[in-house]
Structure 1
Amino acid sequence: MRKVDDSLAIWLQQFNHELTASIAADSEFNTASVRAGLATITRTFITDIPHIEMITDDIIENVAIRIYHPQPQTALPVLVYLHGGGHVAGNLEVYDPICRKLALACQYIIVAIDYRLAPEYPYPAAINDVRLCLQHLFSRLNKMAVNYIPYLAIGGDSAGGALAATVCAIEDDKIHINKQVLIYPSLDYTLSLPSVVINGNGYFLQRNKVQWYFEQYFQNHQDRSMASPLWLPIWSGFPSTLVITTEFCPLRDEGITYYHKLCQQGISAQHYHVPDMVHAFLNLENVVPLHCQQLYAVIGAFLKADDTK
Protein backbone atom coordinates (compact mmCIF):
# COMPACT_ATOMS: atom_id res chain seq x y z
CA MET A 1 0.00 0.00 0.00
CA ARG A 2 1.35 3.43 -0.95
CA LYS A 3 1.95 5.77 1.95
CA VAL A 4 3.63 9.17 2.16
CA ASP A 5 6.13 9.67 4.99
CA ASP A 6 4.30 10.86 8.13
CA SER A 7 6.22 14.13 8.54
CA LEU A 8 5.88 14.91 4.87
CA ALA A 9 2.15 14.12 4.94
CA ILE A 10 1.60 16.76 7.62
CA TRP A 11 3.49 19.35 5.60
CA LEU A 12 1.67 18.37 2.39
CA GLN A 13 -1.68 18.89 4.06
CA GLN A 14 -0.78 22.49 4.83
CA PHE A 15 0.75 23.03 1.40
CA ASN A 16 -2.34 21.69 -0.36
CA HIS A 17 -4.58 23.88 1.80
CA GLU A 18 -2.60 26.96 0.76
CA LEU A 19 -2.62 25.79 -2.86
CA THR A 20 -6.41 25.43 -2.81
CA ALA A 21 -6.74 28.93 -1.39
CA SER A 22 -4.46 30.26 -4.12
CA ILE A 23 -6.56 28.59 -6.83
CA ALA A 24 -9.74 29.97 -5.29
CA ALA A 25 -8.20 33.44 -5.52
CA ASP A 26 -7.63 32.79 -9.23
CA SER A 27 -3.89 33.06 -8.83
CA GLU A 28 -2.23 31.92 -12.06
CA PHE A 29 1.33 30.76 -12.58
CA ASN A 30 3.75 33.48 -13.58
CA THR A 31 7.49 33.58 -13.93
CA ALA A 32 8.18 35.87 -10.98
CA SER A 33 6.04 33.96 -8.50
CA VAL A 34 7.36 30.56 -9.58
CA ARG A 35 10.96 31.71 -9.22
CA ALA A 36 10.28 33.31 -5.86
CA GLY A 37 8.40 30.22 -4.70
CA LEU A 38 11.28 27.83 -5.37
CA ALA A 39 13.75 30.20 -3.74
CA THR A 40 11.57 30.67 -0.66
CA ILE A 41 10.85 26.97 -0.15
CA THR A 42 14.51 26.05 -0.51
CA ARG A 43 15.68 28.83 1.79
CA THR A 44 13.03 27.94 4.38
CA PHE A 45 13.64 24.20 4.47
CA ILE A 46 17.40 23.96 3.98
CA THR A 47 18.89 25.85 6.91
CA ASP A 48 21.96 23.68 7.57
CA ILE A 49 24.53 25.28 5.25
CA PRO A 50 27.84 23.40 5.52
CA HIS A 51 31.20 25.07 5.09
CA ILE A 52 33.15 24.32 1.90
CA GLU A 53 36.82 25.20 1.92
CA MET A 54 36.88 26.69 -1.59
CA ILE A 55 33.95 28.27 -3.44
CA THR A 56 34.70 30.31 -6.56
CA ASP A 57 32.47 32.03 -9.10
CA ASP A 58 33.65 32.19 -12.69
CA ILE A 59 32.43 32.35 -16.29
CA ILE A 60 32.79 29.89 -19.16
CA GLU A 61 31.78 31.18 -22.59
CA ASN A 62 29.53 33.86 -21.06
CA VAL A 63 27.82 31.35 -18.76
CA ALA A 64 28.20 31.84 -15.01
CA ILE A 65 29.44 28.89 -12.97
CA ARG A 66 30.18 28.24 -9.33
CA ILE A 67 32.91 25.83 -8.25
CA TYR A 68 32.86 23.99 -4.92
CA HIS A 69 36.10 22.23 -3.95
CA PRO A 70 35.88 20.38 -0.62
CA GLN A 71 39.66 19.70 -0.51
CA PRO A 72 41.52 22.32 -2.57
CA GLN A 73 44.89 20.69 -1.88
CA THR A 74 43.70 17.36 -3.28
CA ALA A 75 42.95 16.53 -6.90
CA LEU A 76 39.34 15.35 -7.11
CA PRO A 77 37.01 14.33 -9.95
CA VAL A 78 34.40 16.77 -11.22
CA LEU A 79 30.59 16.70 -11.07
CA VAL A 80 28.80 19.27 -13.21
CA TYR A 81 25.46 19.96 -11.51
CA LEU A 82 22.36 21.33 -13.22
CA HIS A 83 19.65 22.67 -10.93
CA GLY A 84 15.94 21.96 -11.16
CA GLY A 85 13.10 24.43 -11.54
CA GLY A 86 11.13 23.41 -14.62
CA HIS A 87 13.54 25.23 -16.98
CA VAL A 88 12.03 28.45 -15.57
CA ALA A 89 13.25 28.80 -11.97
CA GLY A 90 16.38 28.17 -9.92
CA ASN A 91 19.88 29.61 -10.02
CA LEU A 92 23.29 29.35 -8.36
CA GLU A 93 22.10 31.00 -5.15
CA VAL A 94 18.97 28.88 -4.72
CA TYR A 95 20.88 25.63 -5.17
CA ASP A 96 23.97 26.66 -3.23
CA PRO A 97 23.09 24.53 -0.14
CA ILE A 98 22.44 21.42 -2.23
CA CYS A 99 25.71 21.84 -4.13
CA ARG A 100 27.62 22.21 -0.87
CA LYS A 101 26.10 19.00 0.46
CA LEU A 102 26.87 17.15 -2.76
CA ALA A 103 30.50 18.28 -2.63
CA LEU A 104 30.90 16.90 0.88
CA ALA A 105 28.93 13.69 0.35
CA CYS A 106 30.60 12.80 -2.95
CA GLN A 107 34.07 14.29 -2.41
CA TYR A 108 33.86 15.69 -5.92
CA ILE A 109 34.48 19.18 -7.18
CA ILE A 110 31.00 20.48 -7.96
CA VAL A 111 30.64 22.85 -10.90
CA ALA A 112 27.16 24.39 -10.90
CA ILE A 113 26.07 25.95 -14.19
CA ASP A 114 23.78 28.98 -14.24
CA TYR A 115 22.19 28.08 -17.57
CA ARG A 116 19.68 30.43 -19.20
CA LEU A 117 16.02 30.06 -18.26
CA ALA A 118 12.72 30.16 -20.11
CA PRO A 119 10.60 32.00 -21.03
CA GLU A 120 13.26 34.64 -21.75
CA TYR A 121 15.49 31.98 -23.30
CA PRO A 122 13.44 29.01 -24.52
CA TYR A 123 14.59 25.61 -25.78
CA PRO A 124 17.37 24.86 -26.68
CA ALA A 125 19.27 27.75 -25.02
CA ALA A 126 19.93 25.88 -21.77
CA ILE A 127 21.24 22.82 -23.60
CA ASN A 128 23.60 25.00 -25.61
CA ASP A 129 24.88 26.64 -22.42
CA VAL A 130 25.58 23.31 -20.76
CA ARG A 131 27.36 21.89 -23.80
CA LEU A 132 29.57 24.97 -24.14
CA CYS A 133 30.54 24.76 -20.49
CA LEU A 134 31.36 21.08 -20.75
CA GLN A 135 33.45 21.57 -23.89
CA HIS A 136 35.60 24.22 -22.22
CA LEU A 137 35.44 23.07 -18.60
CA PHE A 138 38.81 21.42 -18.14
CA SER A 139 40.69 24.17 -19.98
CA ARG A 140 39.04 26.70 -17.70
CA LEU A 141 39.91 24.71 -14.58
CA ASN A 142 43.51 24.56 -15.80
CA LYS A 143 43.65 28.34 -16.19
CA MET A 144 42.21 28.73 -12.70
CA ALA A 145 44.79 26.27 -11.31
CA VAL A 146 42.04 24.16 -9.75
CA ASN A 147 43.34 20.85 -8.39
CA TYR A 148 41.24 18.27 -10.23
CA ILE A 149 41.24 14.83 -11.84
CA PRO A 150 40.04 14.87 -15.48
CA TYR A 151 37.14 12.56 -14.70
CA LEU A 152 33.73 14.02 -15.42
CA ALA A 153 30.29 13.25 -14.05
CA ILE A 154 27.10 15.16 -14.73
CA GLY A 155 23.97 15.35 -12.63
CA GLY A 156 20.80 17.26 -12.05
CA ASP A 157 17.40 17.20 -10.46
CA SER A 158 14.08 17.52 -12.29
CA ALA A 159 14.63 19.83 -15.29
CA GLY A 160 18.34 19.73 -14.55
CA GLY A 161 18.14 15.98 -14.98
CA ALA A 162 16.49 16.54 -18.35
CA LEU A 163 19.40 18.73 -19.44
CA ALA A 164 21.97 16.23 -18.19
CA ALA A 165 20.31 13.32 -19.98
CA THR A 166 19.93 15.35 -23.17
CA VAL A 167 23.62 16.26 -23.23
CA CYS A 168 24.59 12.64 -22.57
CA ALA A 169 22.52 11.55 -25.57
CA ILE A 170 24.45 13.83 -27.95
CA GLU A 171 27.64 12.38 -29.41
CA ASP A 172 30.31 15.05 -29.02
CA ASP A 173 34.02 14.28 -29.32
CA LYS A 174 34.78 17.33 -27.16
CA ILE A 175 32.84 15.95 -24.18
CA HIS A 176 33.50 12.69 -22.36
CA ILE A 177 31.14 12.04 -19.46
CA ASN A 178 31.93 9.08 -17.23
CA LYS A 179 28.88 9.04 -14.96
CA GLN A 180 25.42 10.53 -14.81
CA VAL A 181 23.17 11.13 -11.78
CA LEU A 182 19.51 11.90 -12.40
CA ILE A 183 17.41 12.95 -9.40
CA TYR A 184 13.66 12.59 -10.04
CA PRO A 185 14.38 13.68 -13.63
CA SER A 186 12.01 15.15 -16.20
CA LEU A 187 12.58 12.93 -19.22
CA ASP A 188 9.33 12.95 -21.21
CA TYR A 189 8.11 16.32 -22.46
CA THR A 190 5.02 14.62 -23.92
CA LEU A 191 3.81 13.74 -20.40
CA SER A 192 2.47 10.46 -21.72
CA LEU A 193 3.13 8.02 -18.86
CA PRO A 194 0.63 7.03 -16.13
CA SER A 195 2.31 8.63 -13.10
CA VAL A 196 1.69 12.09 -14.57
CA VAL A 197 -2.00 11.49 -13.89
CA ILE A 198 -1.70 9.21 -10.84
CA ASN A 199 0.55 11.66 -8.97
CA GLY A 200 -0.54 14.82 -10.75
CA ASN A 201 -2.40 16.41 -7.84
CA GLY A 202 -1.80 16.56 -4.11
CA TYR A 203 1.88 15.64 -4.07
CA PHE A 204 3.70 19.00 -4.25
CA LEU A 205 4.46 19.07 -7.99
CA GLN A 206 1.18 19.44 -9.85
CA ARG A 207 0.54 18.21 -13.37
CA ASN A 208 -0.77 21.60 -14.52
CA LYS A 209 2.39 23.29 -13.26
CA VAL A 210 4.55 20.88 -15.25
CA GLN A 211 2.45 21.65 -18.33
CA TRP A 212 2.93 25.37 -17.72
CA TYR A 213 6.69 24.91 -17.36
CA PHE A 214 6.86 23.16 -20.72
CA GLU A 215 4.78 25.86 -22.39
CA GLN A 216 7.42 28.37 -21.31
CA TYR A 217 10.27 26.16 -22.49
CA PHE A 218 8.87 25.16 -25.90
CA GLN A 219 7.68 28.27 -27.72
CA ASN A 220 8.13 27.36 -31.38
CA HIS A 221 5.95 24.27 -31.86
CA GLN A 222 8.87 21.87 -31.49
CA ASP A 223 8.28 18.13 -31.57
CA ARG A 224 8.45 17.48 -27.83
CA SER A 225 9.02 13.76 -28.26
CA MET A 226 12.18 14.49 -30.28
CA ALA A 227 13.39 16.74 -27.45
CA SER A 228 12.62 14.21 -24.69
CA PRO A 229 15.62 12.30 -23.32
CA LEU A 230 13.38 9.28 -22.75
CA TRP A 231 12.79 8.90 -26.48
CA LEU A 232 16.30 9.77 -27.71
CA PRO A 233 18.56 6.94 -28.92
CA ILE A 234 21.20 5.53 -26.60
CA TRP A 235 24.68 5.45 -28.10
CA SER A 236 27.64 3.25 -27.22
CA GLY A 237 29.50 5.96 -25.29
CA PHE A 238 26.67 6.58 -22.85
CA PRO A 239 27.85 7.02 -19.23
CA SER A 240 27.11 4.78 -16.29
CA THR A 241 23.91 6.18 -14.79
CA LEU A 242 22.13 6.40 -11.45
CA VAL A 243 18.40 7.13 -11.76
CA ILE A 244 16.58 8.28 -8.62
CA THR A 245 12.79 8.24 -8.50
CA THR A 246 10.15 8.84 -5.85
CA GLU A 247 6.82 7.06 -5.56
CA PHE A 248 4.63 10.16 -5.32
CA CYS A 249 6.18 12.07 -8.22
CA PRO A 250 4.38 12.80 -11.50
CA LEU A 251 7.68 12.09 -13.28
CA ARG A 252 8.19 8.70 -11.58
CA ASP A 253 7.44 6.50 -14.58
CA GLU A 254 9.74 8.48 -16.86
CA GLY A 255 12.72 7.70 -14.66
CA ILE A 256 11.81 4.03 -14.27
CA THR A 257 11.25 3.59 -18.01
CA TYR A 258 14.53 5.35 -18.77
CA TYR A 259 16.42 3.08 -16.37
CA HIS A 260 15.01 -0.04 -18.05
CA LYS A 261 15.84 1.38 -21.48
CA LEU A 262 19.47 1.89 -20.45
CA CYS A 263 19.68 -1.66 -19.11
CA GLN A 264 18.18 -3.07 -22.31
CA GLN A 265 20.81 -1.17 -24.30
CA GLY A 266 23.62 -2.65 -22.22
CA ILE A 267 24.45 0.55 -20.34
CA SER A 268 25.58 0.23 -16.73
CA ALA A 269 22.70 1.66 -14.70
CA GLN A 270 21.35 1.70 -11.16
CA HIS A 271 17.89 2.64 -9.93
CA TYR A 272 17.20 4.01 -6.44
CA HIS A 273 13.52 4.40 -5.62
CA VAL A 274 12.25 6.27 -2.55
CA PRO A 275 8.83 4.76 -1.75
CA ASP A 276 7.42 7.45 0.55
CA MET A 277 8.69 10.71 -0.97
CA VAL A 278 7.49 13.36 -3.40
CA HIS A 279 9.26 15.27 -6.15
CA ALA A 280 11.93 17.77 -5.05
CA PHE A 281 12.20 16.49 -1.50
CA LEU A 282 15.85 17.56 -1.32
CA ASN A 283 14.51 21.12 -1.24
CA LEU A 284 12.39 20.17 1.80
CA GLU A 285 15.28 18.92 3.92
CA ASN A 286 14.05 20.12 7.31
CA VAL A 287 10.79 18.20 6.78
CA VAL A 288 12.51 14.91 5.85
CA PRO A 289 16.15 15.23 6.98
CA LEU A 290 16.95 11.51 7.18
CA HIS A 291 15.69 10.88 3.66
CA CYS A 292 17.91 13.68 2.37
CA GLN A 293 20.95 12.38 4.23
CA GLN A 294 20.36 8.93 2.80
CA LEU A 295 20.01 10.24 -0.74
CA TYR A 296 23.26 12.19 -0.56
CA ALA A 297 24.94 9.02 0.71
CA VAL A 298 23.53 6.97 -2.18
CA ILE A 299 24.76 9.52 -4.72
CA GLY A 300 28.16 9.65 -3.04
CA ALA A 301 28.52 5.87 -3.08
CA PHE A 302 27.65 5.71 -6.77
CA LEU A 303 30.12 8.42 -7.73
CA LYS A 304 32.93 7.11 -5.53
CA ALA A 305 32.73 3.57 -6.92
CA ASP A 306 35.63 3.12 -9.35
CA ASP A 307 35.62 6.87 -9.77
CA THR A 308 39.04 7.20 -11.35
CA LYS A 309 38.79 4.37 -13.87
Structure 2
Amino acid sequence: MAAALAVEDPHIAAQLLLYPVVTGATDTASYRRLSHGFPLTAATMRWFMDLYTDGCTEPGKTIADLTVNPRPVPTFLCTVGHDPLCDDGIAYAGALARAGAEVQHIHLPQHAHGIFTSAGVVPTAERVLATACTFLRDVLER
Protein backbone atom coordinates (compact mmCIF):
# COMPACT_ATOMS: atom_id res chain seq x y z
CA MET A 1 0.00 0.00 0.00
CA ALA A 2 1.19 3.48 -0.73
CA ALA A 3 1.93 6.00 1.98
CA ALA A 4 -1.00 8.19 0.97
CA LEU A 5 -4.22 9.54 2.42
CA ALA A 6 -7.41 10.47 0.64
CA VAL A 7 -8.59 12.99 3.22
CA GLU A 8 -7.73 16.68 3.09
CA ASP A 9 -6.38 17.43 6.58
CA PRO A 10 -6.21 14.36 8.80
CA HIS A 11 -4.73 14.37 12.29
CA ILE A 12 -1.80 12.00 12.18
CA ALA A 13 0.06 11.36 15.42
CA ALA A 14 2.77 9.16 13.88
CA GLN A 15 3.61 6.95 10.93
CA LEU A 16 5.02 3.42 10.85
CA LEU A 17 6.14 2.63 7.31
CA LEU A 18 7.61 -0.76 6.39
CA TYR A 19 9.18 -0.68 2.90
CA PRO A 20 6.55 1.82 1.74
CA VAL A 21 5.44 2.83 -1.71
CA VAL A 22 5.78 6.59 -1.56
CA THR A 23 6.09 8.26 -4.95
CA GLY A 24 5.71 5.22 -7.15
CA ALA A 25 8.94 6.14 -8.94
CA THR A 26 10.03 3.15 -11.00
CA ASP A 27 13.17 4.68 -12.50
CA THR A 28 15.33 4.24 -9.41
CA ALA A 29 18.47 2.13 -9.11
CA SER A 30 16.66 -0.34 -6.86
CA TYR A 31 14.01 -0.92 -9.54
CA ARG A 32 16.71 -1.48 -12.16
CA ARG A 33 18.70 -3.79 -9.88
CA LEU A 34 15.79 -6.01 -8.78
CA SER A 35 14.35 -7.38 -11.99
CA HIS A 36 14.39 -11.08 -11.00
CA GLY A 37 15.33 -13.53 -8.27
CA PHE A 38 13.63 -11.86 -5.30
CA PRO A 39 10.17 -12.13 -3.69
CA LEU A 40 9.21 -8.72 -5.10
CA THR A 41 10.58 -7.69 -8.48
CA ALA A 42 10.30 -4.47 -10.44
CA ALA A 43 7.82 -6.05 -12.90
CA THR A 44 5.61 -7.34 -10.09
CA MET A 45 5.68 -3.96 -8.37
CA ARG A 46 4.70 -2.20 -11.61
CA TRP A 47 1.77 -4.64 -11.90
CA PHE A 48 0.68 -3.79 -8.34
CA MET A 49 1.01 -0.07 -9.10
CA ASP A 50 -1.18 -0.42 -12.20
CA LEU A 51 -3.86 -2.15 -10.12
CA TYR A 52 -3.60 0.42 -7.32
CA THR A 53 -3.79 3.47 -9.56
CA ASP A 54 -6.40 2.23 -12.03
CA GLY A 55 -9.03 4.95 -12.17
CA CYS A 56 -7.60 7.02 -9.30
CA THR A 57 -5.30 9.28 -11.28
CA GLU A 58 -5.92 11.63 -14.18
CA PRO A 59 -5.89 10.02 -17.65
CA GLY A 60 -2.32 9.48 -18.81
CA LYS A 61 -0.86 9.87 -15.31
CA THR A 62 0.42 7.38 -12.79
CA ILE A 63 1.10 7.57 -9.07
CA ALA A 64 4.65 8.68 -9.95
CA ASP A 65 3.14 11.90 -11.37
CA LEU A 66 1.53 12.81 -8.05
CA THR A 67 3.17 15.27 -5.70
CA VAL A 68 4.33 13.84 -2.40
CA ASN A 69 4.12 16.29 0.47
CA PRO A 70 5.67 14.73 3.54
CA ARG A 71 3.83 15.49 6.76
CA PRO A 72 6.33 16.36 9.47
CA VAL A 73 5.02 13.84 12.00
CA PRO A 74 7.15 11.35 13.95
CA THR A 75 7.91 8.50 11.57
CA PHE A 76 9.43 5.06 11.91
CA LEU A 77 10.49 3.84 8.46
CA CYS A 78 12.21 0.60 7.48
CA THR A 79 13.69 -0.15 4.08
CA VAL A 80 15.32 -3.35 2.85
CA GLY A 81 18.10 -3.58 0.29
CA HIS A 82 16.63 -6.35 -1.86
CA ASP A 83 13.44 -4.48 -2.71
CA PRO A 84 12.52 -2.29 -5.69
CA LEU A 85 10.94 0.14 -3.20
CA CYS A 86 14.22 0.67 -1.33
CA ASP A 87 15.40 3.91 -2.96
CA ASP A 88 11.94 5.49 -2.82
CA GLY A 89 11.68 4.79 0.93
CA ILE A 90 15.18 6.10 1.64
CA ALA A 91 14.42 9.29 -0.29
CA TYR A 92 11.16 9.71 1.65
CA ALA A 93 12.95 9.35 4.99
CA GLY A 94 15.23 12.18 3.89
CA ALA A 95 12.31 14.32 2.73
CA LEU A 96 10.57 13.82 6.09
CA ALA A 97 13.70 14.83 7.98
CA ARG A 98 14.14 17.93 5.80
CA ALA A 99 10.48 18.80 6.50
CA GLY A 100 11.25 18.75 10.22
CA ALA A 101 9.89 15.33 11.15
CA GLU A 102 11.41 13.13 13.82
CA VAL A 103 12.48 10.11 11.76
CA GLN A 104 13.82 6.77 12.85
CA HIS A 105 14.94 5.03 9.67
CA ILE A 106 16.29 1.50 9.74
CA HIS A 107 17.79 0.10 6.55
CA LEU A 108 18.44 -3.63 6.26
CA PRO A 109 20.73 -3.96 3.22
CA GLN A 110 20.77 -7.77 3.10
CA HIS A 111 17.03 -8.43 3.52
CA ALA A 112 14.19 -8.71 1.01
CA HIS A 113 10.67 -7.33 0.84
CA GLY A 114 8.40 -9.58 2.89
CA ILE A 115 10.70 -9.93 5.88
CA PHE A 116 7.96 -8.76 8.24
CA THR A 117 5.57 -11.53 7.25
CA SER A 118 8.33 -13.83 8.53
CA ALA A 119 8.79 -12.00 11.83
CA GLY A 120 8.28 -15.18 13.82
CA VAL A 121 11.02 -16.89 11.83
CA VAL A 122 13.53 -14.12 11.00
CA PRO A 123 15.02 -12.69 14.21
CA THR A 124 15.97 -9.40 12.52
CA ALA A 125 12.33 -8.77 11.62
CA GLU A 126 11.28 -9.49 15.17
CA ARG A 127 13.83 -6.99 16.53
CA VAL A 128 12.84 -4.27 14.03
CA LEU A 129 9.13 -4.71 14.83
CA ALA A 130 9.90 -4.46 18.55
CA THR A 131 11.86 -1.26 17.88
CA ALA A 132 8.97 0.12 15.81
CA CYS A 133 6.51 -0.65 18.60
CA THR A 134 8.75 1.09 21.14
CA PHE A 135 9.01 4.13 18.84
CA LEU A 136 5.22 4.34 18.47
CA ARG A 137 4.59 3.83 22.17
CA ASP A 138 7.07 6.57 23.06
CA VAL A 139 5.57 9.00 20.54
CA LEU A 140 1.96 8.30 21.54
CA GLU A 141 2.71 8.61 25.27
CA ARG A 142 4.12 12.14 24.94
The TM-score, its normalising length taken from structure 1, stands at 0.41
Number of the residue aligned with 1:64 = none
C-alpha separation between the residues in 1 aligned to 2:47 and 2:125? 28
Report if the CA contact (8 A) 1:226-1:232 is conserved: no
Number of the residue aligned with 1:214 = 49
Report if the CA contact (8 A) 2:23-2:68 is conserved: no
C-alpha separation between the residues in 1 aligned to 2:107 and 2:118? 17
Structure 1 stretches lacking a partner, 5+ long? 1-158
Code of the aligned partner of 1:232: V
1:185 to 9, 13, 20: 20
SS, match of residue 4 in structure 2: helix
2:4 to 142, 161, 166: 166
SS, match of residue 140 in structure 2: coil
- CA shift, 1:182, in A, is 0.3
1:281 and 2:119 are equivalent in the alignment: no
Number of the residue aligned with 2:74 = 240
Structure 2 stretches lacking a partner, 5+ long? none
C-alpha separation between the residues in 2 aligned to 1:233 and 1:289? 34
- CA shift, 1:263, in A, is 1.0
C-alpha separation between the residues in 2 aligned to 1:247 and 1:282? 14
Percent sequence identity over matched residues? 25
C-alpha separation between the residues in 1 aligned to 2:70 and 2:38? 31
1:200 to 32, 35, 47: 35
Report if the CA contact (8 A) 1:195-1:252 is conserved: yes
1:61-76 → structure 2 map (5 Å cutoff):
none
Report if the CA contact (8 A) 2:40-2:113 is conserved: yes
Code of the aligned partner of 1:308: E
- CA shift, 1:272, in A, is 0.6
Number of the residue aligned with 1:251 = 85
SS, match of residue 20 in structure 2: coil
Deviations 1:15-45 (A, max 9, x none): xxxxxxxxxxxxxxxxxxxxxxxxxxxxxxx
1:1-309 → structure 2 map (5 Å cutoff):
159=1, 162=2, 165-167=3-5, 171-172=8-9, 175-220=10-55, 221=59, 223-224=61-62, 225-227=64-66, 231-235=67-71, 238-285=72-119, 288-309=121-142
- CA shift, 1:202, in A, is 1.1
- CA shift, 1:289, in A, is 2.5
CA 1:282–1:201: 2 relative to 1, 3 Å:
same
C-alpha separation between the residues in 1 aligned to 2:128 and 2:70? 26
C-alpha separation between the residues in 1 aligned to 2:140 and 2:37? 39
C-alpha separation between the residues in 2 aligned to 1:306 and 1:187? 22
SS, match of residue 261 in structure 1: helix
C-alpha separation between the residues in 2 aligned to 1:191 and 1:199? 11
- CA shift, 1:222, in A, is 5.2
CA 1:306–1:281: 2 relative to 1, 3 Å:
closer
Code of the aligned partner of 1:294: R
Q: CA RMSD in A?
A: 2.1
- Relative contact order (alpha carbons < 8 A, sep ≥ 6): 1 or 2 greater? 2
C-alpha separation between the residues in 2 aligned to 1:302 and 1:186? 21
Name the count of aligned residue pairs: 138
